[in-house]
Amino acid sequence: MTTIKCNGFLTKCFRITRSIRQGCPLSALLYSLVAEPLGLAIKQERGIKGIEIEQTGKESKIFQYADDTTIFAREEESVKQVMEIVRRFCKGSGGKINEEKTAYMRFGQTTDLEENFKFKEVKEMKILGILMGKDEDKVREIMWEEIVGSIERRLNFWKLRALNLKGKVLILNVLMTSKLWYFLYMTSMPVWVERGLKRCFLDFLWVGKPARIAYNTLIGMEGKGGLGLIDVEQRKNSLRVKLVKKYLDEGNKAEWKTTMGIFLNKCGNLNLGDNVLWMRTKEWITKGLPMFYKEVLRAWGNFLITVQYNVHGRENILNQPLFLNTGILNQGKEIYFKELMEVGIVKVRDVLYEYKEGFLPMQYIVDVMEEAKEEFNKQELKTKYEIIKNAIPKEWIEKVETMEGGKEEKDVYVILGEKLWFLKECTVKMFYVFFRDMIFKKPVANKFWQKTFEGLKEEDIWKNMKGEIIEVKLENSEYYIRQRVLFTDVILKKIGMEQSAICKVCNEEEEDFLHVFLHCKALKDFKEKCKTIIVNLGGEQDQEVTELDRIIMLGFDEKEKNKKVINLFIMLMKKVIWERRGIAKQEEIIMDVWCLFKRRWKRYIECLYCYFKQEQKNKEFDKVFTSEVYSILKEFEIAFPGTE
């Protein structure tokens, strides 16, 4: 039960039926309606001087988001008028300022403002969770130190849990990296944060030991040998590209676009405006820009290789950048002549006649260079000018010469996954996949498996590792096997942790990877029984030994009704082989692997059956473990509940 305070009076008690903050789903919307007059009153009061955005004449006075209000006032008199409007608003609406949460910052030569209000003065403040202050670099460092520290403390807690590799990746993706996205969208990320987080994540994944699987492999999709670990840097890049997408959307009238346009126009003092977005900018071009916009242009520049656009309108073509433009290519590469850019030759219009056909004469380019530079090579300059003339698309020149107008905009497309998309249709996930795939490293194990099994495709190595009847621990065990990162005695001997590489089970041959699962003589009877079961469940009777070995190591991929059972059987088979090998090494006991397998199978299926029954999925269980499967396994004294 609860009550609501309205204009100083409490309502009657009523029951809360929705788990929504403040008790009502309309609360936030109603507050926005009530707070709107305050914003309008401050905006429309001419006596209040806000912050002017250079080159636009626009003035910003107030920003409101739900119950958070931020006000910019340029003069002390403006502060007084703001407080008067706030007092009138509170009196009329019944609202009240939360003085404990309200603070102010002074910039420049502003005098003490204690006479106007009793709010505390601060040097930094959080606005919608983002720390802001006079010293941008300082507050950014403070904010990120706090965020990284929080993540490290949380990970130290999770280190106390017995988690497998897939479980750890899940923790990082869901509970850790997700805390960063809002901050990444709003502010820049220092390099030390990227490196620190990566080091922290690797330490968590491998318990401070050397990584057994490359980081750039783990970030890949599961179907290619990765685990889908989210890479913070590539996620940041995808958010920066999303910002450019929103900037290029003419339907988006957000106020931040004006500020971004100003910084784009400052790039390299080239005065290209937002046409700089069609360049793969160099570091000297972005010098002097805030770090956030440097990140935007760097990410967008890398993404440009997949962007295509149709330039419409004569003015649009004339204002296109000449250099580093993915639309103006020489032998498939962007042209870049820094000395010409430094003297002001940066746009298509700088080399074309504007009101008649043809390019400007070579002498004009020479005159411009002579005026700006004391020494230059005329012959070299002539060669570069010819390259420029040949690189500009012929259709652009035709449109300029025919004085063709048309719409002054661009149709921007993106090629992702061999498919053409409108940029405005693309999502952050699509951008992330592009950046992730740029740095993804194929598993080292791919070459081993392709060498072992002739004609094997890379994508076939990473199939059949998941399913509703495969528990996470079994998935994790199978992933380690497919990646070939288990420490056999051959490897342990090489690193000085074993004196002998001879197999502790058969005591005859060296224990390398394939010996453990396929070639050990102590596995002969066990393998024969398992192969017979695999064939009876769905395999072909006349399959070659190498093909059966491939099925044992990489799973069963035929479209058979018992495929799920076969792959579960194979995964558990390998897990038991490795378990028996561990017992032989540590306890010097050679267990009967078939008996061990039957016990593990029985326990696994009992737990699985209980889970399906608890989730009321008995029918799903019966679809997988049919009476046919039961009868086949029963011949080998392998049983399970629920299907008799």
**pLDDT tens digits along 511-552:** 999 999 999 999 999 999 888 888 888 755 555 566 888 999
Number of helical H runs and strand E runs in the chain: 27, 15
Nearest to 111 by CA among 139, 79, 86: 79
Q: What's the pLDDT at 398? A: 86
3 state DSSP class of 16: coil
Confidence at 643, pLDDT banded by 50, 70, 90: very low
Which of residues 644 and 184 earns the better pLDDT score?
A: 184
Confidence at 642, pLDDT banded by 50, 70, 90: low
Q: Which of 234-238, 300-304, 568-572, 632-636 has the lowest mean pLDDT?
A: 632-636
Query: What stretches of 394-444 show up as alpha helix (H) in DSSP?
Result: 394-401, 428-439
> What is the arithmetic mean of pLDDT over 157-165?
93
| Contact between 449 and 457 (Cβ < 8 Å) | no
> What is the arithmetic mean of pLDDT over 635-641?
70
Residue 17 has pLDDT above 50, yes or no: yes
Residue 24 has pLDDT above 80, yes or no: no
| Contact between 630 and 642 (Cβ < 8 Å) | no
Q: Is 34 exposed, middle or buried (0-12, 13-18, 19+ CB in 10 A)?
A: middle
Confidence at 281, pLDDT banded by 50, 70, 90: very high
pLDDT tens string 411-463? 899 999 889 999 999 999 999 999 999 999 999 999 999 999 999 999 999 99
Residue 225 has pLDDT above 90, yes or no: yes
- Measure Cα distances from 356 to 321, 362, 397 in Å: 20, 16, 11
> What is the arithmetic mean of pLDDT over 583-607?
91
- Average pLDDT over the chain reads 88
Q: What's the pLDDT at 644? A: 46
> What is the arithmetic mean of pLDDT over 305-325?
89
- H or E element: which one contains 455? none
Q: What's the pLDDT at 540? A: 57
- Which phi and psi (to 5°) does residue 110 adopt? -60, 135
DSSP character at residue 457: -
Q: What's the pLDDT at 85? A: 92
Residue 113 has pLDDT above 80, yes or no: no
pLDDT tens string 345-400? 999 999 998 778 889 999 999 999 988 877 888 999 999 999 999 999 998 888 88
Secondary structure percentages of the chain, helix, strand, coil, to 5: 55, 10, 35
* DSSP-assigned letters across all residues of 265-301: HHGGG---GGGGGGB---TTTSTTS-HHHHHHHHHHH
For β-strands 103-104 and 120-121, DSSP reports them as: parallel
Q: What's the pLDDT at 20? A: 57
68 DSSP β-pair partners: 65
Q: What's the pLDDT at 23? A: 57
Confidence at 407, pLDDT banded by 50, 70, 90: low
> How far is residue 111's CA from residue 281's CA, in Å, rounded to a whole number?
43
Which of residues 478 and 114 earns the better pLDDT score?
A: 478
Confidence at 493, pLDDT banded by 50, 70, 90: very high
Distance of CA 599 to the CA centre of its chain: 43
- Measure Cα distances from 171 to 201, 223, 270, 480 in Å: 10, 20, 46, 19
Residue 501 has pLDDT above 90, yes or no: yes
Q: What's the pLDDT at 311? A: 80
Q: Which of 13-17, 416-420, 575-579 has the lowest mean pLDDT?
A: 13-17
Which of residues 624 and 480 earns the better pLDDT score?
A: 480
Residue 410 has pLDDT above 80, yes or no: no
Number of CB atoms found within 10 A of residue 305's CB: 11
Confidence at 65, pLDDT banded by 50, 70, 90: confident
